Structure 1
Amino acid sequence: MVISEVSWMGTTNSSSDEWMELYNTTAAPISLNGWTLQSQDGTPSVSLSGTIPAHGHFLLERTDDTSVPGVAADEIYTGALGNGGETLVLTDSQGTVQDQTASAWAAGDNTTKATMQRAKLSGDGTLASSWATATTGYGSGLGYGTPQDAADTPPPMISEAFHYDLKFAGGLSGSTVTDPYGEPSSSDNLPMAQAMLARINAATKTIDFAVYGFRDQCAFEDALVAAQARGVVVRGVVDQNSDGSFTYHDNNGCDTQAVITALGKDSSGNPWVRVDKNPSTGEGFGYIMHNKFFVIDSDWVSTGSTNYSDTGIGGEYNANWTIIIQSANLASVYTTEFDEMWMDGLTHHLKSDNTVHLLPVYTDGTQVESYFSPTDDATNNAIIPAINGAQHTLDIAIFYLTSQPITDAILAAKNRGVTVRVILDSNGASNTYSTHDQLCAAGIPVKIENFKGRMHMKALLADNNSMIIGSQNFTGAANADNDENTLWIRNGAVGAMSYDYETYYNNLWGAIPDMFICKNPGSESKYVGNTCSDGIDNDFDGYIDGADFGCQ
């Protein structure tokens, strides 16, 4: 539920003809009994009642039902809105703040009587970017706005169910496992790789991919080359370091450069796989193209936290998840983002916010919102709203947590009685800017993994009906600089997906000893599998095995 429109300036008839509107962003009706909408200065203060339908509006008019002639008010209130601004707070029956505005009006025009209208139905209402000044006239010259109008509603329901395949790394069979991960491998025989290869091999028209890179994944290189050979148009975007090297490389001829070479160039001499760097402006230096998505035949989208490497999709060595979704609507959104990078050569801050965010509701009630970084502010439009919506439970699995706004939202959830659990990667916990200590200080159990692989997920589940999945870590750089993608999925299919997520999450939780609640075992130490004898610098400190302090 959000505050969707505020006529703080009244109308051309009278400055006292103020009105406000709420919008139900969910696919189910909501009882407003016990809800309140009030200004922090006490006026107006409205005790709400009645029911707002799924994807419906609720119109509040000041004093009487004449502020918006011809449109019936759902509730009448008293009290004036100040022209300089009001902090309006929408609170549910449990006392949880669902939405609010900043103290100064973010939009609206007192001269033209244009309302302050929600530009983004999801996201933080205190941000100016969430609002716009209305441009649609109403009421035969009363001003500009859309009271009870469909102009500010999401697209209608589409005639398809939410078809998906959700895969988790590691064959967890129970909570007694001591290490849920496999081993780094070039193999393609694990479930996640098999599912993705099946989709690639079934492609008949197009394959677009934006991935961090490839390492030791010959099966994927072969599948892409075979698709191209049978007439499928295969295009790709990968990350490249500022010095021209690739983070993902190997000695087996199946790495990022090998894929670029194997797929070759088009008839104009341009490579089918392009890199994220723009040397002419220096844009991208220090940033990364961190996506892990495929779009196939304009009908399938895969995304998640899994890289196309021996430690990612190959060996399922790291804790990851991938979702494969059949949806032409979502595929169109991801193709728009892909084309901006591939066709226009735009990455990072050179991109624009040019994609649909709130998709049509699926027939099973599933709602999907899509955000790309750094243009779309997934932190404030998806991740924080998902956390703010939690009423009972919140389970987070994350590689890096350094974002203070996200941390504040998690703390607020704990303070309103939500049961919060966090699983954090040991490398992430070692980061100087990690905010997990704040969670620990508040009594939130943060288990820091002690497995050989990484806790590489970027995920949360709230109340078994709201889920975040994608490539974006919970950091400022991921949101503001990197090329990333985030999906916020709610209701509908999330009920079934939450069972799989909770099974996986509980197995991970149970496999981490309680001694590592708010205590970091280190990424290379005697507490972490064979990391003191594997010949790998697991914590990236320049010391390996016995030479590392953690192994002494």
Structure 2
Amino acid sequence: MCATSARAADTLCDPSTTNCRTQLLTLIQQEQVGIDVGFWFMQDSRYMTEIVKRFQAGVPVRVLIDPRANASYPGNDQMIAGFQSAGIPLRKRTASGILHWKMMLFAGQNTVEFGSANYSPDAFVPAADYTNYVAETVYVTDDPAVVNSFKTKFDDSWTDTSSFANYANVGALTRTYPTYPIDSSLNFPPAQDYAARAIGRYNAETLQLDAIMFRITDQRHTNAIINAHNRGVPVRLIIENDEYRDPNYMWDPWNVDRLYAAGVPLRWRGHAGENHEKLVLL
């Protein structure tokens, strides 16, 4: 008989009513082999504190950061400084665009957490169930194909000398994991064009297209969704109020208005907090 390691159920945590931070902190506290972290910004010191504790206990840690977030997200600089002063290796993105990852990988538990939620105090925990929360997708999985894909992509970024540079405490740039194939269900921009892939799915849909989108700035999505609506596919879209009113992102109201004018049913957030989800359901 052949025995296979048991897998825990995948978790899609809903911070409208669930404390998703507890699960993530537990994963950090239980890790014995290695932790890899990549984020756009971090403001909740609980994560930094627990990661530093594991590093001090001898668990290897690597962190990918983007200090360009400091100007817009107070406290991110303090989290980076905390990792740096603890001696944790940090590399920073230097290429155009931003490092928009929100992920933690736990090598000993063969588990990865990723999704739309930044590591802020309000993204993982509701202020009040169902009435004051940040709508997010927080996904935790030990699916080997997904975990191994993130291992390879993290190693790719860690050893990349074109788009990343050393920030602090970095020795030789070496890969930690074997190089695995990337699961075809995943998409890693900017190396892969998410819009091109998504539009192919929109164009093939015949039954129902539902989406929750924080911000819409690429008209390719809008065009394809309008086309789906025009050919009779039922479409429903939930958007974020504040993005529609934000003068810094005028492409969002332009795209939303086009969807409205085309007759696509639209709703927006009715609860306090924010709709930060990015979800398409086909």
Please state which band the TM-score falls in when normalised by the shorter chain. 0.7 to 0.9
Give the conservation status (yes or no) of the 8 Å contact 2:52–2:86. Answer: yes
1:443 match = 263
1:201-350 correspondence to structure 2 within 5 Å: 201-215=29-43, 217-241=44-68, 245=70, 247-250=72-75, 255-265=78-88, 272-277=89-94, 283-284=95-96, 287-297=97-107, 299-315=110-126, 317-347=133-163
Matching residue within 409, 425, 439 for 2:240? 425
Q: Is the 8 A contact 2:48 2:83 kept in 1?
A: no
Match of 2:130 in 1: none
Q: Evaluate the alpha carbon distance shift between residue 259 and residue 246 of structure 1 in structure 2; reply closer, same or farther with a 3 A threshold.
A: farther
**Whose radius of gyration is greater, 1 or 2?**
1
Deviations, residues 374-413 of structure 1 (Å, cap 9, x unaligned): 11112112x2233234322222111111212111221122
Q: Structure 1 200/254 Cα, relative in aligned 2: closer, same or farther at 3 Å?
A: farther
Measure the CA separation in 2 of the matches of 1:246 and 1:345. Answer: 24
Change (3 A) 1:219 1:401: same
Q: 1:169 aligns with which of 15, 30, 33?
A: 15
Report the counterpart of residue 170 of structure 2 in structure 1.
none
After superposition, the C-alpha distances for 1:462-516 in whole angstroms (9 at most, x for unaligned) are: 1xxxxxxxxxxxxxxxxxxxxxxxxxxxxxxxxxxxxxxxxxxxxxxxxxxxxxx
Question: Which blocks of at least 5 consecutive residues in structure 2 are unaligned?
Answer: 128-132, 165-178
Residue 321 to residue 259, structure 1, CA distance change in 2 (3 Å): farther
Residues 449-472 of structure 1: per-residue CA shift (max 9 Å, x gap): 25432211111111xxxxxxxxxx
What's the offset of the Cα at 1:161? 6.9
Letter in 2 for 1:402: T
Structure 2: distance between partners of 1:254 and 1:433: 29
Structure 1 residue 254: deviation in Å? 9.0
Deviation (angstroms), 1:212: 1.2
Name which of 364, 381, 384 aligns with 2:199: 384
> Within 5 A, what are the aligned runs for 1:94-243?
163-171=9-17, 191-215=19-43, 217-241=44-68
TM score, norm. by length of structure 2: 0.80
Secondary structure of the structure 2 residue equivalent to 1:313: coil
Deviations 1:78-134 (A, max 9, x none): xxxxxxxxxxxxxxxxxxxxxxxxxxxxxxxxxxxxxxxxxxxxxxxxxxxxxxxxx
Q: CA RMSD in A?
A: 2.7
* CA-CA distance at 1:303 after TM superposition: 1.0
Q: Distance in 2 between matches of 1:446 and 1:168?
A: 22
Q: Deviations over 1:205-258 (max 9, x none)?
A: 01101111211x22212210121122211111112118xx454333xx994334
Which structure exhibits the higher relative contact order, with contacts defined as CA atoms closer than 8 Å and separated by 6 or more residues? Answer: 2
SS at match of 1:344: coil
Matched to 1:439, the amino acid is L
- SS, match of residue 186 in structure 2: strand
Residues 497-550 of structure 1 deviation map (CA, whole Å, 9 limit, x = unaligned): xxxxxxxxxxxxxxxxxxxxxxxxxxxxxxxxxxxxxxxxxxxxxxxxxxxxxx
Deviations 1:310-342 (A, max 9, x none): 232255632111110102322221122212222
**Letter aligned with residue 304 of structure 1:** G
| Displacement after TM superposition at 1:160 (Å) | 7.9
